[in-house]
Structure 1
Amino acid sequence: ETGPIVSEIEKGRAMALRWTGLGGTGLFQCMYQVNRAANGGDVRAAALSQAAPVFQIVWADSSGNIGTQIAGSIPVRAAHSDGVIALPAWTGVNGWLGFVPAPDLPSATNPQEGYLAAGESASKSVLHPFLTGVYGDASGRDRRILDLLKGSDVLDRESLARIALDTYSPWAAQIVPGLLRDLQGVQEFSEPERKALSVLQEWDFNMSRDSAGAAVFCLWYESFLDALLREKLGNSFYQDLAARSRLMALAAQKKLGHAAEVAPQDNETRQLIRKSFRAAVAMGTRLLGNDTAKWKWGSLHKVEFQHPLAVHSSFLGALFDVGPVSVGGSWDAIRFSEWTPTPSFRETGGCSLTQLIEMAPTPVVLSSVPLGNSAHFFSSHYKNEVSAWQAGRLALLAVALQDSGAGARNSVLFQPAIDSRPAPQ
C-alpha cells in the first residue's frame, strides 16, 4: 500500500503519500482515556489507541510516580529511507515494513534522576533503533533542559521559570566553533567585518532579543542558505522551504559538517562561508547601522499578531492587529520561536502559552500569554500582557474559586435552560 495519489508528476507517473492517520487518528479516544487514567498503566493503554499525530504524553500520579509515553503509530522504514525524499513505489523495496511494536514505543517511568524532560526527543539512538522523526537531532532542546535541571541546586519556581524561558541555541553552539575556525585569519576582511567577527567570538549562544551575537549569526545563516540553495531550488521553492527551519538546518549541516573537532572544510565551502559572512555584515549594516556591537536580534526578529478579520482591511488591522513586537528565542531554544531565514526574520510560530504548575492540593499556576485575556479590542485586557510576555514575566493565576472572585469586576451566571416542551405521552 502506498497511500492515495496526491499529485501527477508527469504523464504516466504520479506522487502518492501514505500517512498513518488515513485510517483514523484515534485522537479523541486517546485523549478521553488519558483524562480518565488513574496511573501510568492506564496512560500506556490509552496511547495504544492513538494513530496520528505522534506526540509525547507526560504524566504524574498522586503516589509520586512520573513518566512519559509516546503515543501514535510509527512506521518501520527500510534502512535507506527516512520519509523525506520520495522513492519509487513500484520496486517493492521502499514501502513500510510495519509499525513499531507497542512495547517498543519510547517511554520512561520514575527515572533515577527524579525528573524528566519532554521537549523534542532524538530521532534514532542505540536505545531506540527505530526512526521516529528526522528533525529531532537538529535540536538539542531535550539535552539543554536536562543540563539546566542537573545544574540547578534547587528546583523552585524561579529556577524553573528561567529554564522555561531559556534562549540558548544548541544549534548555534554546534555550528559557530567551526564557523569561527573558517573565518579567523582572513586578511581581506574590512573593519566592520572584523568587528562583526569579534562580536561572534564573544557570543554565548543565547538568542535573547538584545544579543548582538545572535544578530550576526542569524544574518550569516540567512546569507549562507541563500547562497547555497536559492539558485539551485528556484526562488519560489526556496521561499517555501525556508519556512521549514529544521529541514534548512539539516541542509546546512550536511554542507558544513561543522563541529569543533572536525578538520577544515574544503576550499569551496570555505569560500562560500566567507562570502556569505561579508554579505551578512553588509545586510546588517543596511538594516541595523554601522556599529555591530549595538546590533540586536530583536531588531530583526519580530512577531506580529494579525487578526483573521483584519487580513484584507487596513482599517480593521489598525483596531485588531498587535505588533510588530521584538522577541528573542529560536526554533531550537527552550523558548521556542520559529523564524524563517529570509531578510524578514519574522516569527512564524512560537509558544503562545507558558505555564508553571505546582501540583499542590491547591495548585499554584504561573502563566504568560502574548496578548491578554479578552478578545474584545476595546477591552483594557485585549493586549495588556504583551510587555510582560515579551520580557518573560510570569503572572500568578487565581485557580481557587474564592480567589478568582476577589478581584472580579464582572461575572457571568450560567443556568440550565428550562425545557418548556410538553412531556411525551
Structure 2
Amino acid sequence: LDILLDYARRMDFRDKDGDPLIAWSDPRGAFEGWKACSRGRLCDYSGLSYEKLTGGSGVQWPCNAEHPDGTERLYTDLVFPSRADVCESFGHDLELGAALSPDGYRASDPGGRAMLKGARYIPPFEEPDAEYPFSLTTGRIVYHFHTRTKTGRSPELEDAAPMAFAQISEADAGRLGVRDHEMVDVVTRRGTVRIPAKIGDIEQGHIFIPFHYGYWDEEDDRPRAANELTLPLWDPISKQPYFKTAAARLQRVEATGAVPRVPGPTTKTEGVSGRDPSARPHVADYLGVLSSANAGFSHACDIVADHHARHLEIVTGLGILKGYSQEIEDLLTPFVEKYGKVTPERPEALHSALFEKHSGEYGMIRDLHDLYVVASNVQIAAAIVNYAAEGLRDADLLKAIATIMERAKAQTAWTETHLRHQAGHALVVPS
C-alpha cells in the first residue's frame, strides 16, 4: 500500500476533474474507494463493511442498499446485463477476436436476454507429427498454487509434490523403454525440460507436466519449467496464453546426453541503458498519413471525374466529396500546427497501383472500386488518429476527428452505394 501511494504521488495521477486520483491514505480508505468504484455495477460492493466481512463465511455480491446482506443467486428474474445501455462490452468475433461495434450490437440488442453464440471448431495451432508425436498439456496438481512461491514453503505440501514430472501412458512407456521415475527429456520446438517420468493414468499419445516448477527454485542446470515448452501465443478472445497444448517428443536421457539449456524468462533487462535518445512520439507521423490519404482521395475524385465526364451524377457527387476532403484538411490544420506533420514516403504509391484509364460502365465499376480503396484509407487513418487522441485526452482533437470520421464514412458510403446500383448491370449485361 505504501508503495502504491508513493508511486501515485510521484506520478501525480489525476482523475477526470483534475483532483488526485488516489484520495485515500490507509487500508480503510482504500476499501471505501474500492466500494465507491463498484457502485451501480453488477458486482456492487457499496453495502459491504469490515463488520460484515468479519466472523462469517463471506458476502456474495451484489451487496448494496437493495441487497444489504448480499445476493445468494444472480439472475433469478431471468434478466441479464445484456442491454446495449447496460453491458460493459459489445463482444467479439469468436474466431478472430475482432471487437463488435456498438452500432452493430444495438441493431440486435438482446434487451436483457441471454445470448448463445456458435463458433466453428478451430484445430490447435500445433498438432503432433512424425518429429513431435505427443500432445503435451500443462496443468496444476492439488498440492501447489502457480509457481509455488507460497505453497513451496510449506513442508507438508512440498514433501507431497517436490518436483515436476512427465506423465505418460503405460503403452507409450513400454514402447519407449521408459521406467517409472526414470529421468526423461520432453522436447518441443521451443525447448527442453529434463524431469522424471510418471507412468499411468493418462491417455496414450499424451504427456502431462505440472507448470509449478522452474526458475526461482532451480538448484542445478536441469531445466524443468513446463511453460517454456508451450506456444508463445494467446487466445484472441480471452487473451489466455496457449499453455495447454503443444506437440512434443519424449526420449530417455541416456539416449540424448547433455540437455540444452532452456532460455529463461524473456523479461530480463541486462544491457538496457535507458530510453533510446532518438525515441519520439509518432502523432505527427499519422497526422501526415491522414493528411496524405485525404489529399490522395481528393486527387482520385479528379481522376474518376475526368474518366467519366459525361456521367453527370457521378461528377456532381465527386465534387461534393472533394468538398468533404477540403473540410477534413481544414479541421486537421490546427493539430498539424500543434503536433507537427511527417509526410509519408511515396504517398503516391497507392495511386500508382490504381486508376488505370477506364471508360464505359465496366470501367466505371473499376474506378469506383479503386476510389473505395482510397476512401477506406482515409477512414482507417482517421480511426487510428482517433485512438491516439483518446490516449492524449485531447478533447479538441477528438471533436475534430469525430467530424472527419463522419465525412470519411460518407465518402465510402457514397462510393459503395453507386457500386451497388451499377455493378449488376455493368457486369451481367454484355458491353
Q: Please tell me the TM-score bracket, short chain as reference.
A: under 0.3
Greater C-alpha Rg: 2
TM-score by length of 2: 0.22
TM-score by length of 1: 0.22
Larger proportion of strand: 1
